[in-house]
A and B are shown apart, each in its own frame.
Chain A
């Protein structure tokens, strides 16, 4: 890995598969700037017609949840079954819900 390589920032790539869907994260790449990142993303992630739209985001700009906080962040949702629609019975006679 060359010295220059380390100078190039990392970009996260999001691709929208088709109209109506949302952009999904597909991977990352190195590029000197946003325009080149977009082009590299086109070459790396849409070679097989995977998408109709690409977003690139500097990886440094992403604020991520910490693995250390995983329990506090996500575990409390585990026993709240009433947050799922399946918890509720559909009253009889309701046609459109």
Chain B
């Protein structure tokens, strides 16, 4: 493999990680001033900002490595839908609070296992970003866990909504573990998603059972996020996220 191909692969892989963090950050940001409690507003805001920080580091690194002069803003605001390679789970609409917490539980459990391993990557920059982020994500996972336990093992209403939240997000879980050519070529640099299936599934089952909920037995959703194929809502998400930067290129405040 030539050095140029190897670098292009790392760029593509880094963009996947960055896009996951960026898109979920954007979604969580929608809760600001709309969360059930002021305290939860701050908690979700903190989590969104952690993810945004990860996205900035990852997109900046991808841009540098690519060597075409694209910075974090160019990559976040001036790519189109097909160029985003985030998993579909992170772009799903927030739904109610239970859906948001179900999604956060699924994603942060996955991301925590991912970053723990990525901290040992042969790529020093990715390793450093992951080592810093893994503590943040441990907190995200804890926050989601606390809420899933309380809502699941709460009232009849909260139990039903929490189960519905799991049911609507669970079909998007298998996409997180998809292994493709890119990941296979990046042995030692990338984390093999197949390795994550067992620990992530085990942790999720444990939380779901403690919350007196049922592990959904549902057919996986049709995927394609890693190839730039997204659900219907992605266009609207990007329109909102990118509109200001595109209307006023280079604007600062």
Interfacial residues, chain A to chain B (CB-CB below 8 A):
2, 4-5, 8, 29-33, 35-36, 39-40, 43-44, 47
Contacts and interface: CB of A to CB of B under 8 A. Distances in A.
Chain B interface mostly? helix
Contact of B150 (A5, A29, A32): A32
B244 interface: no
B150 A39 contact: no
Contacts of B46: 43, 47
A30 B37 contact: yes
Interface string B126-146: 000000000000000011001
B37 A35 contact: no
26 contacts: A2-B36, A4-B36, A5-B37, A8-B37, A29-B39, A30-B38, A30-B39, A31-B39, A32-B150, A33-B150, A35-B146, A36-B146, A36-B150, A39-B142, A39-B143, A39-B146, A40-B39, A40-B40, A40-B42, A40-B43, A43-B39, A43-B43, A43-B46, A44-B39, A44-B42, A47-B46
Contacts of B40: 40
Which of B36, B37, B43, B142 counts the most A-chain CB atoms under 10 A from its CB?
A: B37
Contacts of B39: 29-31, 40, 43-44
A30 B40 CA distance: 10
Contacts of A35: 146
A38 to B, nearest CB: 10
